[in-house]
Amino acid sequence: MADRISVKICGLRTADEVAAVAAAGASYCGFTFFGKSPRCVTPATARELALGAPVGLAKVALTVNADDAFLDALTAHVPLDMLQLHGSEPPERVAEVKARYGLPVMKAVGVAEAADLATVERYVPVADQILVDAKPPKGGELPGGNGLTFDWRLIAGRRWPVPWMLAGGLTPENVGEAIAMTGARQVDVASGVERAPGVKDLARVRSFVTAAHA
Ligand SMILES: O=C(O)c1ccccc1NCC(=O)[C@H](O)[C@H](O)COP(=O)(O)O
């Protein structure tokens, strides 16, 4: 039997959300550290959530062009399993972060057209994982978490020599089709399982994980 699809639910803000995500069978939970995001949490809140997370649920910190001072404080304070770099960090910065903190690093890359796949290739030698996400709208406030899909046919059948996750506009309704079309073995969602910006709908979280696993 093929391995089960791994699911990451991103942008958690409460202990109830963390517990529900774990109980639903997700593999990763994400905490967002980006001031303009409705999903933003402080390191102090993330610490409490991370300390209360069940064993086996990987805790991912999402940052956007964070400097060493922020990452030093974050990693000293919050027990984390992975760093997700969601800004315009170049490959050299990904390598630097990986070496400095000794944590696996996932680099998000926005895809809107075939040419963007060359960007994915640039990160393959340095990132532990790649998050293949929709490209954010030009001039938008958020570099991710916008609920936008991209044309999944662009990556149908594509394989990279590092683990990768599919993200961007996924929902309980479309995640099965997205997996079937792209061959993704890992999926990530933020807004598609919310009832209001930054507030997870726990029934949709369960439906998403069930649909991904099906
Ligand atoms: O979720 C945010 O608010 C966010 C803010 C800044 C950078 C990235 C952000 N989210 C990134 C994620 O990991 C999302 O899960 C991914 O972009 C997909 O989001 P969505 O389309 O809403 O499922």
Question: What does the pLDDT read at residue 2?
Answer: 60
Distance from Cα 10 to the centre of ligand 1, integer Å: 7
3-state DSSP of 125-190: CCCCEEEEEECCCCCCCCCCCCCCCCCHHHHCCCCCCCCEEECCCCCCCCHHHHHHHHCCCEEEEC
Query: How high is the mean pLDDT in each 10-residue block of the chain (214 residues)?
Result: 87 98 98 96 98 96 98 97 98 98 98 96 97 94 94 94 97 97 97 97 98 96
Distance from Cα 214 to the centre of ligand 1, integer Å: 23
Alpha-carbon span 67 to 44, nearest angstrom: 18
Which of 21, 40, 62 has most ligand 1 atoms within 8 Å of its beta carbon, as the pocket-test mutant?
62
Write down the domain spans for the chain.
6-213
Contacts of residue 59, defined as CB under 8 A and 6 or more positions apart, other chains included, come to 28, 29, 31, 49, 50, 53, 78, 79, 80, 81, 82
Q: Are 120 and 100 in contact (CB under 8 A)?
A: no
CATH number of 6-213: 3.20.20.70
Question: What does the pLDDT read at residue 139?
Answer: 87
Question: What does the pLDDT read at residue 71?
Answer: 98
Tokens, residue 38: 């409705």
> What is the SS3 assignment for 82?
strand
* Ligand 1 atom closest to the CA of 30, numbered from 1: 13
H or E segment and range at residue 118: helix 117-123
Question: What does the pLDDT read at residue 157?
Answer: 86
Distance from Cα 1 to the centre of ligand 1, integer Å: 31
Confirm or reject: Cβ of 110 under 6 Å from ligand 1. no
